[in-house]
A and B are shown apart, each in its own frame.
Chain A
Amino acid sequence: MTAATGRTLRLGTLSTRVGGRAVVAGAVCLAVAVVLALVWLGLGSIALTPGEVVGALLGQGDRAATTVVVEWRLPRVLSALVLGAALGVSGAICQSLTRNPLGSPDIVGFTSGSHTGALLVLVVAGGTYGQLAFGALAGGIATAVVVYLLAWSRGMQGFRLIIVGIGITAMLGSLNTWLLLTADVEVALGASAWTAGSLNGARWPDAGIATATAALLILVACVAARPLRQLELGDAIATTSGVRIERARLGLLVLSVALTAVVTAVAGPINFIALAAPQIARRLTRAAGVTVLPSACVGALLLTASDGAAQWVFDPVQLPVGVVTVCIGGAYLVWLLVHEARRR
């Protein structure tokens, strides 16, 4: 978001600077994601042309095509688009708050915490989506608090936060394994379907509730993320420029965890999108720091593409999308480590 190409948008009392390059990059990512989504909607044992898909979506197709597209395939594809965006935003906020490209919810343990919370609810109460989401949110926030407190000792350091997060993640992973082992066989089978992070089971109405909630939270994030830029400059500057730093930081952290929790409750822990999307967006837009909306667009593209790959590359076997994102994202993390070392 360079000042030279930026212009200011105003909507009532809200105003924001918009960089030309950010708009183009975000729009291109989103467009590619939507095109991919249309392709995935057409693929399957009943193959449809893009025209038929669009017709079905607009309610003008024949009955069979509408059933296939809207009832069967749309929940999954829409989930991938919106939840991917949610993960991108969650990662952008978290990385900006920790001022570290590695400080994303999946590395510092929030995703595992959400998963543990959802699993606990599933084992104890056996849940609807609402209960699971609540459990995931509670688990994520509890984990965030614990990690933050443990990593805090005379100030916060990025690497310590991350190593503490890795430790907590390992512990929660063990806890999750143990929960699955002690649960009833049926509950365990249902839960293990999304232990790797999968959209295979996305159905209406759960997918609808999840995507609606996620979309709402993304909108809130776009408005609430404005103090991020000031916070990145340091607490002193943020305070003098009129940000109530503790309140802003707490609110943004809760928002980031909530976005992760919404995704985890419906799809299980999908790792590495939140890590990679903001950094890819930063490089695409050539912005100084991580930016929320471009991250959302890149996240949507990444998850949609990964989910398609998970579904079709090894046809007829469907992989959980988490397996694909872990491979892409882990490779990206390795590259990031090497690249950062070179630049020093």
Chain B
Amino acid sequence: MTTAQRRPPAGDAGTRHTGGRRTLGLVLGACALAGACWLSLVAGSADVSLSAVWRALTDFDGSYDQTIVRETRLPRTVAGLLVGLALGVAGTLIQAVTRNPLADPGILGVNAGSAFFVALALAVSGGMSIAGYVWFALLGALVATCAVYVIAAAGRGPASPERLVLSGVALAAVLSGIVTGFVLLDPETFDRMRFWSAGSLSAADLPMLGTVLPFVAAGLLLAALVARPLNAVALGEELAGALGANLTLVRAGAVVAVTLLAGGATAIAGPVGFVGLMMPHVARWIVGPDQRWIVAVSVLLSPVLVLTADVLGRVLVGSGEVPVGVVVAFVGAPVLVGMVRRRRASTS
């Protein structure tokens, strides 16, 4: 993992082999994404035929089956798409900026920061519109990102990957502890936050997604802009400076992008961890170390993970459903363990 990140970007000297692999990765990613969307529209407790799903999207006639597809499954699928790509790209950026293969918005406490500020706002105001709490989710994400970095980088030298993870876990523990406190003190808030705090797509509806969409889009745009200079950051601070990258600007841009993306995703689904941890590695494995390609492939592949996890959560349990955050953690935690093992084995 680290060796892949420390290797200089392939750049123009990239072989034809890499080029073919990248195209293949994009095509496969697009196919997988289409498949996951289709699965998310079709799977569920109500048995809706394929043709009915298609007609609901193209030629809506208001029948019961079609209403299910349009009113519940379509918003869910869109929510899964948005959350997935936002978290995947946020993970890519955060890993590139911190040069840390273990970074992830969930592990680093960014999601917990969002949740904390939303809970705080709810506790103080007693209730607000979705548009209102998106802002608090974003603010929380920003504050938590900065706080974790400051804690981890206290003392001399750059923040080591492990130290960053620990600071994130500590901060997330404190913040989610306080959120639990809020929730128990005010049962009405509790009702609203209960499902949200487990990380679930089930509460999503289209107007809410419309509110969050601009933030995620802005984050994506910013990510696309900083992806190229991030290749220079991967070479280390001194080399990056020598290559003419404006480190402060790149870092600030990446942090704002992470804030927008992770905060937006948390506003939709609550804290969902591990997506941002796994997908950049999968993408890097497919397309090599160029950040531009990693971002592109993460955009395609991360929603596949979230949508598949959501479908699994719907299908696995007979009645009711497992929140997507729970399913993703089940897949993601072993990946984290595997990565720590490989990392040490390769460096020691």
Contacts and interface: CB of A to CB of B under 8 A. Distances in A.
**A and B part of one assembly:** yes
Interface of A: 102, 150-151, 153-154, 157, 159-160, 162-164, 166-168, 170-171, 173-175, 177-178, 181-182, 196, 271-272, 314, 317, 319-320, 322-323, 326-327, 329-331, 333-334, 337-338, 340-344
B337 A334 contact: no
Contacts of A341: 154-156, 163
B244 interface: no
A174 B329 contact: yes
A340 B320 CA distance: 46
B333 interface: yes
Interface stretch (B52-60, B63-71, B127-135, B164-172): B164-172
A153 B174 contact: no
B336 interface: yes
A162 B160 CA distance: 14
Contacts of A330: 170-171, 173-174, 177
A163 B326 contact: no
A5 to B, nearest CB: 33
B102 interface: yes
Nearest to A147: B337
B348 A154 contact: yes
Interface in B87-142: 102, 107
Interface string B310-331: 0000000100101101110110
16 contacts: A157-B344, A163-B165, A166-B336, A168-B333, A171-B330, A171-B333, A177-B198, A181-B323, A314-B181, A314-B185, A319-B181, A326-B176, A330-B170, A330-B171, A333-B166, A341-B155
Interface in B146-204: 151-152, 154-157, 162-163, 165-167, 169-171, 173-174, 176-178, 180-181, 184-185, 198
A333 B165 CA distance: 12
A163 B340 contact: yes
A335 to B, nearest CB: 9
Contacts of A163: 102, 162, 165, 336-337, 340
Contact of A327 (B151, B177, B336, B348): B177
A45 to B, nearest CB: 20
Contact of A181 (B107, B322, B329): B322
B184 A181 contact: no
Contacts of B274: 170
Contact of A323 (B163, B165, B166, B177): B177
B317 A337 contact: no
Nearest to B170: A333
A317 B185 contact: yes
A334 B167 contact: yes
B17 interface: no
Contacts of B165: 163, 166
B323 A177 contact: yes
A102 B178 CA distance: 22
Interface in B260-287: 273-274
Nearest to A175: B330
B242 interface: no
Nearest to A336: B170
Contacts of B163: 337, 341
A173 B172 CA distance: 14
Contact of A319 (B184, B198, B322, B336): B184
B173 A333 contact: yes
A330 to B, nearest CB: 3
A211 B97 CA distance: 50
B344 A153 contact: yes
B16 interface: no
B345 interface: yes
B334 interface: yes
Contacts of A167: 333-334, 336-337, 340
